[in-house]
Amino acid sequence: NAGVTQTPKFQVLKTGQSMTLQCAQDMNHNSMYWYRQDPGMGLRLIYYSASEGTTDKGEVPNGYNVSRLNKREFSLRLESAAPSQTSVYFCASGAGALYNEQFFGPGTRLTVL
Amino acid sequence: RKEVEQDPGPFNVPEGATVAFNCTYSNSASQSFFWYRQDCRKEPKLLMSVYSSGNEDGRFTAQLNRASQYISLLIRDSKLSDSATYLCVVRGSTLTFGKGTMLLVSP
């Protein structure tokens, strides 16, 4: 089992460019999550998907969109990147109830110039 | 009071020492509690869930005090490999992560 995988590992964008971060899990989990982690701050939830076909906003959704493509895949899109979106992005999946134990991918380090 | 609060550290301890971290939370309706471990530039990994009665996993012991709204993590016989940041995570209507406590174990 690969667990949770994310691509790309690193990305540099210019302000205004768009990109999609990919995430996939092979643990047959229902829920999936996107977080960002900034220095000196805890992980903050951007969007989540409780099950295939549903998505909901988290704490910091502005500037992002998501797609739950199927049970395995949950992508995060930045339509017009801004320097404030420079961060490390983690995807996670969870078994059982929403917001229960979660398993994280290795992260994507994004820099927006 | 912040939702989830941790002492950022770093806690510097020698190998073999016992070290304890506390974490306070503000939402008395919080339902579940977890400790995650995060190595430098890596993803968080679940260390253990925290149960009302307290629980132990090898050298690690977690306790929950609902009356005072804090959870604790005790690490006995510290190893060099325990050096990491320990994240306190609280589940209420959502999942809230603390900023973490850094532990450095030295030879």
> Considering only CB atoms, which chain B residues are within 8 Å of A99?
32, 91, 94-95
Out of B34, B45, B97, the one facing A43 most closely (by C-beta) is B97
CB atoms within 10 A of CB A89: 22
Length of chain A: 113
Residue A30 pLDDT: 93
> What letters, b where the CB count within 10 A reaches 16 and e where it falls short, cover A93-113?
bbeeebbebbbbbbbbebebe
pLDDT at residue B84 tops 80 = yes
pLDDT at residue B38 tops 80 = yes
B87 interfaces chain A, CB cutoff of 8 Å: yes
User: What's the mean pLDDT in A40-57?
Assistant: 92
State pLDDT tens for residues A49-92: 999 989 999 999 999 999 998 999 999 999 999 999 999 999 99
**Higher per-residue pLDDT: A113 or A100:** A113
pLDDT at residue A99 tops 80 = no
pLDDT at residue A43 tops 90 = yes
B79 interfaces chain A, CB cutoff of 8 Å: no
CB distance A42–B43 less than 8 Å? no
CB distance A106–B42 less than 8 Å? yes
Which tokens is B64 given?
């929950």
User: Which of B43, B45, B96, B99 is the best substitution to test chain A (most A C-beta atoms within 10 A)?
Assistant: B43
Rounded distance, CA B34 to CA B26, Å?
15
- Which helix (H) or strand (E) segment holds residue A60: the answer is none
Residue B93 pLDDT: 83
Residue A78 pLDDT: 97
CB distance A106–B91 less than 8 Å? no
Rounded distance, CA B58 to CA B75, Å?
9
Taking alpha carbons only, the member of A95, A6, A50, A35 closest to residue B96 is: A35
pLDDT at residue A23 tops 70 = yes
Considering only alpha carbons, which residue of chain A is nearest residue B39?
A106
Out of A59, A99, A104, the one facing B43 most closely (by C-beta) is A104
Contact yes or no for A112/A13 (Cβ under 8 A): yes
From the number of C-beta atoms within 10 Å of its C-beta (0-12, 13-18, 19+), residue A11 rates as middle
State pLDDT tens for residues B53-66: 889 999 999 999 99
> Considering only CB atoms, which chain A residues are within 8 Å of B43?
90, 104-107
